[in-house]
Structures are given as structure tokens and as C-alpha cells.
């Protein structure tokens, strides 16, 4: 009793304004959540001063609920489709429509400044609504989104006087007209970041040049492939303060003045830290970027179809590199050089140049990754596509880099064993999870039995996201993961022999996760129904292009299954091939 009185006294002694001021230093969503759980008055104070909201699954909650709890939001981040939508596993029209959110926020959050969306569908009407509803709108980020055209962008350009950031990374935009850029009025000078790399057609280049040169705070500019190289020098001269640049196609008729202009322009960019773009590279033009190489911390060459010697020459100059994305043309020799020269490297992504070929077209093996793991002490994030792997290599990588937090390995041919021993790669991945105690994200590939899942369930206690394909023998595998991985939030599985047993035995676990995706597995319709009935705080969505699942026996496996926790009940915008399993509490008319 005395203790409670003390606490009560403390909280009364702090005026709300003081608490609010203290809370204003705390930005992370997780910490804000913790604050709100301390006591009722802190919950109240916190919710009125929460400015940034992150909704990891747009169907987990309704716009009205967010608005009710956080009336003064300035920035919202929403994610829609499941990750496997990136690889065409989610049919068109599945959902992820942002319109209801925009409509609700247009009324409730007139001071909204930032909208960040990932894998959502946004229409031109929606963009228009954004442009006209939020007077102080500053940041629009659309990552892997679709459903809009350049007309929608024109509306944003014309109306958002205070726009700072327009980022269309990897979105699918119907490119009707490149003149949308001209809709930025001449008086508009606040642009800081522009990413139009996904646009198919040329934008109006003179308009772009004028825009860039009149915005003194331009920091990031990512052009699209259609942007001609011979105009880049002029553009750069108008914005020498650029920190991040994405070129267009890096090729041109070989004219000496184009090269010298370009080299001179790059020499003037004293703040440049990041480069990307580089489609269709003409190697003889690469030396033009040498003046900025020593300062580069981020280099994305994942579209650059140049060979290892040219890559080595370029990357060898970038000793400050922290992040490198590159095609497997870099080969083991290039990765050896990377390990020797770039001691500050933190993130490496190696993409396949010929993903559908049967045989290796490049000399890139597990050895390259081993070298980098040895030579780069800060390396903690890896995405690596290759065609062969050994347990020994994985073991070495694990022991070299216990600080690994993201490890995604894709051995291109499914179910490929250790090529030296012909055994499964269970022990190799086991070493990864055992030694890398802070591992947050893991993607598996190669020949894998239930044992690898036993290792994961035993050791991967900090794991938040796991991607599995063509692996495992039985439900025991899935059971190990669901019962062992305490921090698991997202699990995505395709083409594995997992059925009903592990899911039903660990049903309650699903409410502690954001989502579970299973496709081409063996989960029966009956099990889906059961899960949907008994767990009302889950949406169990069956995706099946063969037609209504209740026309087939209950024991029939469903094609695809997407389960996610939600407090807003089944969604109402599903297409004809998605069925949400009803819960017992639903009132059936």
C-alpha cells in the first residue's frame, strides 16, 4: 500500500507537460509502446503526443482505431501485401488498398506530414486526395506500390508546396506522361529527395534540371534508366551538394567531351556518399566516378552487367564502403579484393546475373562469401545468391561473424546438398544460428531436413523473420520453429511438406506473430477452418485459384494460406479467390 502511494505521489508531482517533454525524446515505436503500458495516465499522455505510427500490417487494425487512439499523428507507415508478393506468389487484386486510410486521415489528421507505404495499392484519386488534404505534407514514400499513374504524381507536384521527399522505389507506375514534373511550380524550392528510378519513360529533362537547380537542399536524386548519360554532367553541376545519386543508363556514344564533362562534374560533388543506377554500363565511362569513390559509403551496382576486372577496378577505390549491392559478375576474385580493401563493409548483397540458367556462368562460389566474412569485421547483413555451398563454409562464416544479424542465402537450385559431402546443409545453418546469437532475419536454401529446424528452434532466440523454401521432411520441422523461436514475427514458407499437426499444436503462437504465409504445403482446408473458428484474433485467409474450397473435401490441401493477427476482424475487400475462415463469434446472417 505504501509503495503504491509513493508511485501515485510521483506521477502527480510531474505535470503533464514535463512528461510530454521527456517522451518527445523517445521515437521508437517499441519504446513508445512500453511507455504506454506503465500506467493509465502515461498511456493517456503518450497517446496524445505520439507523432509517428507504424502499422506493419494494414489489416491488423482499422484506420478508425488508429485515429481514435492517436489523434495527433504527423507520420504514418503502412505495409500491405505479404513479402512473397515480391516474387509473384500473391495473385493480382489480393488487397492492400490504402484508400480507406487516406480518406479517414484526410478528415482526422489535417496536419499529416508523412505517408510511407510498402506493397500497397494506391490510386491516382488517392494521390489527389493526399495532395489536397494535407497542407503541410512533406514526405511521400511508395515502396513496391502499384495502382497509380504519372497523373497522380502531377497532382502531388502541383499541390504540395512543402514537399520534401518523393520516393517511388521499386513501384509499378503507369507512365502516361513525362511532363508531370513540370507541375512543380517555379516557386517551389523545398525538394530534398527524389527517387524516380522505377519510371519506364523519359521525364521532361529540362524541367528536371530546373527543378534540381532551384532546390538548394537537394540531397538524394535517383534517376530512371531512360535518363541519358550525356545530360548527367549538367544536372550534377546544378546540384553539387548531392549526397546520394542514382544515374540513368550509364552508356552513351563514346564522345570525349561527354566523358570529360562527366568526370569534372563528379569532381565537383564533394559530399557524395552513395551511388546507384548504372544500367547498361559502358566500362570506359566508369573512371568518371573515380573522384568520388574514396568517400562512397554505399554503392549499388546490381544492374551493372560489367565483368569482374572492371568491378574490381571500381570497388577497389572505395575503401570507405559500408554497403555494396552487386551482381555475381564480381566473382570470388572480386570478393577477395573486397575483403582486403573495404574494412568498413557492413552489408553485402550479391544478385544472380543468370538466375534461370542451368549452370554457373560466373566463377562465384561459397568461397567469396567466406573471404568477405573473414576480411570484414563489421559485416552483419548478407544476401547471397550462388549455386554451391558446403557445411564447412557456413561453419566458417558463422564463426567469423557472430555479429551477423541478417543472413539470407539463396542456392539457386532447390534442395542442393553440400557439394563436397553430398549431405544436407543442416549443420551449416545450425552453426549460423548457434554462433550468431543476434540473428534477426534468416532465409534458408539447399537440401535441408527437419534437423535444421531443430537447430533453429533451439538457438535462434532473437530471430524475427524466417523464410523457408523446399525444405524439411515433416510437421516436426515446423513444430520446432513455432515452439522454439521466441521472437518470431514473420514466417513465410513455400513448397515444404508441412501439414496440419504443427500448426494446430502451436495455434496460440500465431497470435504472437505478425503473419504466417504457407504456399504449396500440405495444410488442409479443414485445419484452416478450425484455426479460423477457434482463434478470433486471427484472420485465416485461404487463397485458392481453383475455386471455393468448400467444394472440395476438407482434407484437401489449400494452395496458399495467409494467417495474420488482427483486432479488426475479417477484411471486406477480398477478391473472389480469397476466403477468410469465420470465427465462432461472428454473427452469421
Partner 1 sequence: MNEMSRNERESSEERKLELRLGPPGVEDWFHTHNKQRISFGNYFSSSNNGFQHVRGNKESSSSQTCCPKRVELQNGDNNKVTAVSNTSQKRTAPGPVVGWPPIRSFRKNLATSSSSKPSPPESQTQQDMHNNVSAGKKPIDNNYGKGLFVKINMDGVPIGRKVDLNAYHSYDNLSSAVDDLFRGLLKAQRDSSACGGNNKKEEEEKVITGLLDGSGEYTLVYEDNEGDRMLVGDVPWHMFVSTVKRLRVLKSTELSAFTRESWNLIVV
Q: Does 86 bind partner 1 (CB under 8 A)?
A: yes
H or E segment to which residue 475 belongs: helix 475-484
Q: Does 500 bind partner 1 (CB under 8 A)?
A: yes
In 3D space, the residue among 166, 179, 184, 238 whose CA is nearest the CA of residue 209 turns out to be 238
Q: How far is the CB of 586 from partner 1 (least distance, A)?
A: 18
Residues pairing with 524 in the sheet: 557
Q: Does 563 bind partner 1 (CB under 8 A)?
A: no
Q: By rule CB under 8 A, what count of residues binds partner 1?
A: 93
Q: How far is the CB of 365 from partner 1 (least distance, A)?
A: 16
Q: How far is the CB of 545 from partner 1 (least distance, A)?
A: 6
Q: Does 585 bind partner 1 (CB under 8 A)?
A: no
Q: 3-class DSSP state for residue 528?
A: helix
Stretch that binds partner 1, among 31-39, 48-56, 464-472, 563-571 (CB under 8 A): 464-472
Q: Show the site string, 339-378: x = touches partner 1 by CB under 8 A, - = not.
A: ------------xxxxxxxxx-x-----------------
In 3D space, the residue among 354, 299, 297 whose CA is nearest the CA of residue 328 turns out to be 354
Q: Does 268 bind partner 1 (CB under 8 A)?
A: no
Q: Using the rule CB under 8 A, which residue among 39, 546, 567, 584 binds partner 1?
A: 546
Q: How far is the CB of 504 from partner 1 (least distance, A)?
A: 5
β-strand 538-543 against 560-565: which pairing, if any? antiparallel
The grid coordinates listed for 176 are 502516361
Stretch that binds partner 1, among 24-32, 33-41, 71-79, 276-284 (CB under 8 A): 276-284
- Long-range contacts made by residues 105-109, C-beta under 8 angstroms, separation at least 24? 105/63, 105/67, 105/73, 105/76, 105/133, 106/130, 106/133, 106/134, 108/67, 108/71, 109/67, 109/72, 109/73, 109/74, 109/76, 109/134
Q: Does 517 bind partner 1 (CB under 8 A)?
A: no
Q: Does 87 bind partner 1 (CB under 8 A)?
A: yes
Q: How far is the CB of 463 from partner 1 (least distance, A)?
A: 17
HEC-encoded secondary structure of 175-244: CCCHHHHHHCCCCCCCCCEEECCCCCCCCCHHHHHHHHHHCCCCCEEECCCCCCHHHHHHHHHHCCCCCE
Q: Show the site string, 208-237: x = touches partner 1 by CB under 8 A, - = not.
A: -----------------x------------
Residues pairing with 350 in the sheet: 326, 384
Positions 294 through 333 that interact with partner 1 (CB under 8 A): 302-303, 305-307, 327
Residues pairing with 149 in the sheet: 174
Q: Does 450 bind partner 1 (CB under 8 A)?
A: yes
Q: Using the rule CB under 8 A, which residue among 20, 69, 93, 399 binds partner 1?
A: 93
Positions 384 through 403 that interact with partner 1 (CB under 8 A): 385
Stretch that binds partner 1, among 128-136, 336-344, 366-374, 548-556 (CB under 8 A): 548-556
Q: Show the site string, 406-425: x = touches partner 1 by CB under 8 A, - = not.
A: ----x-x-xx-x----xxx-
Stretch that binds partner 1, among 14-22, 74-82, 178-186, 249-257 (CB under 8 A): 249-257
Stretch that binds partner 1, among 180-188, 205-213, 257-265, 572-580 (CB under 8 A): 572-580
Residues pairing with 54 in the sheet: 77
CA torsion, points 307, 444, 85, 33, in degrees to nearest 10? -120
Residues pairing with 407 in the sheet: 382, 442
Q: How far is the CB of 111 from partner 1 (least distance, A)?
A: 35
The grid coordinates listed for 297 are 559509403
The conformation of residue 403, written as its DSSP 8-state character, comes to: T
Q: Does 89 bind partner 1 (CB under 8 A)?
A: yes
Q: Does 283 bind partner 1 (CB under 8 A)?
A: yes
The grid coordinates listed for 481 are 520453429
Q: How far is the CB of 60 from partner 1 (least distance, A)?
A: 20
Amino acid at each position: 500500500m505504501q509503495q503504491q502511494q509513493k508511485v501515485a505521489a510521483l506521477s502527480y508531482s510531474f505535470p503533464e507537460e514535463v512528461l510530454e517533454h521527456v517522451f518527445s525524446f523517445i521515437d521508437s515505436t517499441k519504446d513508445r509502446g512500453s511507455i504506454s503500458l506503465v500506467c493509465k495516465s502515461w498511456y493517456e499522455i503518450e497517446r496524445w503526443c505520439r507523432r509517428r505510427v507504424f502499422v506493419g500490417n494494414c489489416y491488423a487494425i482499422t484506420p478508425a482505431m488508429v485515429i481514435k487512439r492517436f489523434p495527433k499523428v504527423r507520420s504514418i507507415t503502412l505495409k500491405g501485401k505479404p513479402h512473397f508478393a515480391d516474387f509473384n506468389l500473391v495473385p493480382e487484386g489480393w488487397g492492400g488498398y490504402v484508400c480507406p486510410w487516406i480518406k479517414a486521415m484526410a478528415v482526422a489528421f489535417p496536419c499529416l506530414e508523412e505517408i510511407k507505404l510498402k506493397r500497397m495499392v494506391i490510386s491516382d484519386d488517392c494521390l489527389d486526395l493526399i495532395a489536397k488534404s494535407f497542407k503541410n505534407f512533406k514526405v511521400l514514400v511508395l515502396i513496391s506500390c502499384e495502382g497509380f499513374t504519372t497523373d497522380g504524381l502531377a497532382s502531388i507536384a502541383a499541390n504540395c508546396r512543402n514537399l520534401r521527399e518523393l520516393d517511388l522505389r521499386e513501384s509499378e507506375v503507369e507512365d502516361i506522361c513525362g511532363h508531370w514534373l513540370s507541375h512543380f511550380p517555379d516557386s517551389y524550392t523545398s525538394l530534398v529527395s527524389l527517387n524516380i528510378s522505377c519510371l519506364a519513360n523519359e521525364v521532361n529533362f529540362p524541367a528536371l534540371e530546373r527543378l534540381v537547380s532551384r532546390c538548394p537542399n537537394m540531397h538524394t536524386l535517383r534517376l530512371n534508366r531512360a535518363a541519358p548519360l550525356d545530360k548527367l554532367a549538367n544536372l550534377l553541376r546544378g546540384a553539387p551538394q548531392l549526397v546520394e545519386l542514382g544515374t540513368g543508363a550509364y552508356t552513351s556514344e563514346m564522345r570525349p567531351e561527354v566523358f570529360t564533362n562527366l568526370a569534372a562534374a563528379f569532381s565537383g560533388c564533394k559530399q557524395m556518399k552513395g551511388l546507384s543506377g548504372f544500367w547498361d554500363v559502358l566500362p570506359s565511362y566508369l573512371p568518371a566516378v573515380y573522384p568520388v569513390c574514396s568517400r562512397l559509403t554505399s554503392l549499388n551496382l546490381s544492374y551493372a552487367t560489367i565483368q569482374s576486372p572492371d568491378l574490381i577496378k571500381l570497388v577497389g577505390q572505395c575503401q570507405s564502403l559500408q554497403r555494396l549491392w552487386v551482381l555475381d559478375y564480381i566473382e570470388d576474385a572480386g570478393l577477395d579484393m573486397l575483403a582486403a580493401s573495404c574494412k568498413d563493409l557492413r552489408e553485402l548483397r550479391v544478385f544472380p546475373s543468370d538466375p534461370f540458367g542451368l549452370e554457373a556462368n560466373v566463377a562465384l562460389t561459397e568461397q567469396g562469401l567466406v573471404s568477405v566474412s573473414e576480411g570484414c569485421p563489421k559485416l552483419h547483413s548478407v544476401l547471397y545468391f550462388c549455386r554451391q555451398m558446403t557445411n564447412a563454409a557456413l561453419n566458417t562464416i558463422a564463426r567469423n561473424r557472430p555479429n551477423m544479424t541478417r543472413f539470407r542465402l539463396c542456392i539457386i537450385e532447390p534442395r542442393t546438398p553440400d557439394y563436397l559431402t553430398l549431405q544436407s546443409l543442416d549443420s551449416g545453418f545450425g552453426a549460423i544460428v548457434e554462433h550468431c546469437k543476434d540473428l534477426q532475419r534468416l532465409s534458408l536454401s539447399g537440401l535441408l531436413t527437419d534437423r535444421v529446424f531443430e537447430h533453429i528452434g533451439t538457438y535462434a532466440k532473437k530471430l524475427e523473420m524466417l523464410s523457408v523454401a523446399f525444405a524439411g521432411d515433416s510437421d516436426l520441422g515446423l513444430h520446432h520453429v513455432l515452439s522454439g523461436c521466441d521472437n518470431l514475427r514473420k514466417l513465410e514458407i513455400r513448397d515444404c511438406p508441412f501439414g496440419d499437426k504443427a500448426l494446430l499444436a502451436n495455434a496460440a503462437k500465431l497470435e504472437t506473430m505478425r503473419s504466417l504465409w504457407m504456399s504449396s504445403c500440405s495444410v488442409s482446408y479443414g485445419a484452416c477452418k478450425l484455426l479460423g473458428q477457434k482463434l478470433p484474433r486471427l484472420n485465416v485467409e485461404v487463397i485458392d485459384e481453383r475455386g471455393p474450397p468448400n467444394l472440395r473435401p476438407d482434407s484437401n490441401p489449400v494452395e496458399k494460406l495467409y494467417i495474420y493477427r488482427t483486432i479488426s476482424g475479417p477484411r471486406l475487400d477480398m477478391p473472389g479467390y480469397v476466403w477468410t475462415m469465420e470465427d465462432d463469434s461472428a454473427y452469421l446472417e
